[in-house]
Amino acid sequence: MATLRRDGRVTALQRLGCAGLAGALSLSLTAPLELLTVLAQVGTWHCRRGLRDAGLSLCRTEGVRALWKGNLTACLRLCPYSALQLAASRRLVTLFTDELGHISHWRAIMAGSLAGMVATIVTYPTDMIKTRLIVQNRLAPSYEGILHAFYKIYHQEGLHALYRGVSPAILGAVPFSAGSFFVYISLDKIWQEPIVHFTPLQNFINGCVAAAVAQTLSFPFETVKRKMQAQSPWLPHYGGVDVHFTGMADCFRQTVKNKGVAGLWSGLTPSLLKIVPYFGVMFSTFEFCKRVCLYRNGYIESPLNYKLTPGVDQSLHPQELRELKLLRRENFESRKSALEN
C-alpha cells in the first residue's frame, strides 16, 4: 500500500505553475527529437535515409527553426492538460483510497492513467494541430498558425477530423499503464531494497526506465495515431503519410503489410533518446520553481539552498502561515502601542 503525499507548503496554483513552466522548458529543449519522432511515425520523405539525414535535410530545406515546428502548440496544451489531469486525478484518487487514506500502487497508476485519458480526450484537437503543423512545409504552409489550422480543418474536414486518431490514443493507455505497473512492482527486486528507501537519483532512474518501457509497449498505437492525424486529402501528398488507409484497423494492417511489424515502432529511437533530457530538465526546473515558491511563502531562507526559515512551523499550509504572521504582527503592534502609552 502507498500513501499519496503532496508538499502542503505549496499551493495548488503554485504547483500547477511550476509544472507548466518545467514542462514548457523540457518540451522546448527536446522539441527536435519530438519532431523527428513524429516525422518517422508519419513516414514523410525526410526519414527515408535515417533520422540524422532527416534532421539535416529539414534544416537545409526549411531552416533551423523548422526543428521546433509544433512546439508552441505543445507548450500551450500543457496548462489545460495539466489542470484537467490534476482535477481528474484528485477525484479518482479519492474514489480509490481506502478508509485509512491509503491507495495501492496499481490503483494509483490506474487513477493516473484514467486522469490522463480524460485530459487527452478534452485537449486532443491541440495534439492534432501539432501533428499537422509538424508535417507541413514551413516555407509553403497549408496552415498559417494554430488558430488558422483549427479554422481550416474544421471547415474543410469537419469537427470529427479534430478527433481523428483518438481511438488508438485511448487504447494505447492500456499497455502504457501495464508497462508502468510492471516496472514499479519490480523496483524493489532490481535495487534489492524497499521502495521507501529510494534516493532522488534512484527515483529519477526509475521514472526514466518506466517511461521507456511504457512508451515502447504503447508505441504502435502512437504511430497509428500520428498517421491518422496527418493523413488528409486537403494536404499535399495526403500529409506525407507513407501508407494510405481507411481507419485504425486498416492503418495497422497497411503499415505491417508495407513496412513490416517494425514499422509500427518507427521513430522509437529519438523518442527514447528524449526521455533522459526531458525528465532531467523537467524535474530540476520543477524543484527550483518549487524552492522559489517556498521562499516566497516564507518556509526557506533562499531559493538557492534548502535552509529552513528559523521559527517557522513547516507543517502549516501557506494560508495558515500567513494568518499566523498577521496575528503575530497585530500582537506586536498592540504591545508596542501599549508600551508607548
Do residues 23 and 71 lie in contact, with contact meaning Cβ atoms separated by under 8 Å? no
Look at residue 133 in the predicted model and tell me its pLDDT.
Answer: 97
Cβ-based neighbour number of residue 237 at 10 Å: 10
* Stretch 232-255: mean pLDDT: 95
pLDDT digits 0-9 by tens, 258-286: 999 999 999 999 999 999 999 999 989 99
Residue % of the chain over a pLDDT of 70:
96
Ordered by start, the domain boundaries in the chain are: 31-273
Helix, strand, or coil (residue 308) = strand
Q: Cell numbers of 14, please?
A: 503554485
CATH: 1.10.10.10, 1.50.40.10, 1.10.3720.10, 3.30.10.20. Which one for 31-273? Answer: 1.50.40.10
Q: What is the mean pLDDT of residues 306-326?
A: 86
Q: Identify the burial level of 158 via C-beta atoms within 10 angstroms of its C-beta, where 0-12 means exposed, 13-18 middle and 19 or more buried.
A: exposed
User: If you average pLDDT over residues 244-255, what whole number do you get?
Assistant: 96
pLDDT value at position 196? 65
DSSP 242: S
Burial class (CB in 10 A: 0-12, 13-18, 19+), 259: middle
**62-117 pLDDT, tens per residue?**
999 999 999 999 999 988 998 898 889 889 988 888 887 787 777 887 888 899 89
The pLDDT of residue 160 is above 90: yes
Which of 4-13, 110-119, 154-163, 246-255 has the weakest average pLDDT? 4-13
Would you say residue 332 has pLDDT above 60?
A: yes
Q: Is the pLDDT of residue 1 over 80?
A: no
The widest CA-to-CA distance across the chain, in whole angstroms, is 93
**pLDDT of 49:** 81
List residues bridging with 103 in a β-sheet.
2
